[in-house]
Amino acid sequence: MNDKSEHLIEIRDLCYSRGHREIFKGLNIKIPRGHVTAIMGPSGTGKTTLLRLITRQLLPDSGTILVEGTDISTLNQKELYQMRRRFGMLFQNGALLTDISVFENVAFPLREHTRLPNRLIRHIVLTKLHAVGLRGAADMMPTQLSGGMARRVALARAMVMDPEILIYDEPFVGLDPISMGVIVRLVRKMNDALGISSILVSHDVQEIATVADCSFLISDGKVAASGSPDELHNTSSELVRQFMHGMADGPVAFHFSAPNYAEQLLGRDAE
């Protein structure tokens, strides 16, 4: 891999559509190395889709995605898996394997990819579980966990191979304030202490502001604004202000496109 490339991930003119709906129309993003980068946007703007495109779980219609300067669409399966081993990904709902215990879930990548002795695996897994505060839940089954706990276990699993790039898909949704605070600090601390890069998809403006170094706001298939959270907060752009301050009125329509309200209620659209 070409380690001299300036940016960790570079997305050029990305287009992607699902069915007839265009999700991205020429998206350009450069994600720097060693920072916490946030990708924000209203629901349904394809933030999760973007993560799946970056990790090549989906292929774009057009445009290129470079990871460390390598175009990921050119990788064969072996190279792709090689690349993915450098990623750790936290899924929205945790995506724990439901047929094995919490401990085995976190140990899963280690058992699959390494030949470490059992004692060492136990050591590593317990450390990671301790970091997310769930060492005591090691013997439970994933179905016994609450949504927030499952996400924390999934975070432990995402960290267990010590990835260079950690990807979080909506890490703060459904967490209580205490877990939220711990996770926010953990994200920040891991990024700085381990020198990794983090990519975070979220619409929790407050949390993003405390944890992210730079952020991209996606709207209508393009990057609407970028910069540090403070810059975004004090911006003059109508759209960004609306999103950052959570206002109902503005360029982003709160309502999904629909026929005229009054006409529909009065039944005049039944032509």
Partner 1 sequence: MIREIWYTFIDFLQTFGKLQIFFVRLVLNSPNVFLTRGGLIIKQIHNAGAMSLVIIMVSGLFVGGVLGLQGFSILSKFNAEDSIGTFAAFSLVKELGPVITALLFAGRAGTALASEIGLMKATDQLSAMEMMAINPLQRVLVPRFLGGVISMPMLTAVFIIVGLFGAHVVGVNLLGVDEGAFWQQLQSTLEMRDIYEGIFKSVVFGIVASLFAVWEGYNAIPTAEGVGRATTRTVVITAIAVLILDFMITAVFLR
Which residues of the shown chain bind partner 1 in the complex (CB under 8 A)? Answer: 52, 55, 57, 81-82, 84-85, 87, 89, 91-93, 95-98, 108-109, 112-113, 154, 157, 161
Angle subtended by helix axes 177-194 and 147-159, to nearest 10: 10
**What helix, strand, coil percent values describe the chain, rounded to 5?**
40, 20, 40
Distance CA 50, CA 263 (A): 37
In the bound complex, what is the minimum distance in angstroms from residue 150's beta carbon to partner 1?
A: 10
DSSP label at residue 102: H
Q: Would you give the end-to-end CA distance of the chain in angstroms?
A: 61
Q: How far is CA 241 from CA 80, 234, 252, in A?
A: 39, 8, 10
In the bound complex, what is the minimum distance in angstroms from residue 62's beta carbon to partner 1?
A: 23
In the bound complex, what is the minimum distance in angstroms from residue 119's beta carbon to partner 1?
A: 21
Identity of the residue, 56 or 241, whose beta carbon is nearer to partner 1 in the bound complex? 56
In the bound complex, what is the minimum distance in angstroms from residue 98's beta carbon to partner 1?
A: 7
Distance of CA 24 to the CA centre of its chain: 17
Identity of the residue, 100 or 178, whose beta carbon is nearer to partner 1 in the bound complex? 100
In the bound complex, what is the minimum distance in angstroms from residue 97's beta carbon to partner 1?
A: 6
Identity of the residue, 83 or 240, whose beta carbon is nearer to partner 1 in the bound complex? 83
Distance of CA 124 to the CA centre of its chain: 24
Identity of the residue, 105 or 202, whose beta carbon is nearer to partner 1 in the bound complex? 105
Distance CA 228, CA 212 (A): 7
In the bound complex, what is the minimum distance in angstroms from residue 70's beta carbon to partner 1?
A: 16
8 with 72: CB under 8 angstroms? Answer: no
List all residues 6 or more positions away from 186 whose beta carbon is below 8 Å from its beta carbon: 131, 132, 155
Identity of the residue, 108 or 126, whose beta carbon is nearer to partner 1 in the bound complex? 108
In the bound complex, what is the minimum distance in angstroms from residue 249's beta carbon to partner 1?
A: 34
Total residues found in the chain within this entry: 271
Identity of the residue, 13 or 79, whose beta carbon is nearer to partner 1 in the bound complex? 79
Distance CA 92, CA 71 (A): 26
- Backbone angles phi and psi of 215, in degrees to 5: -145, 155
Identity of the residue, 55 or 198, whose beta carbon is nearer to partner 1 in the bound complex? 55
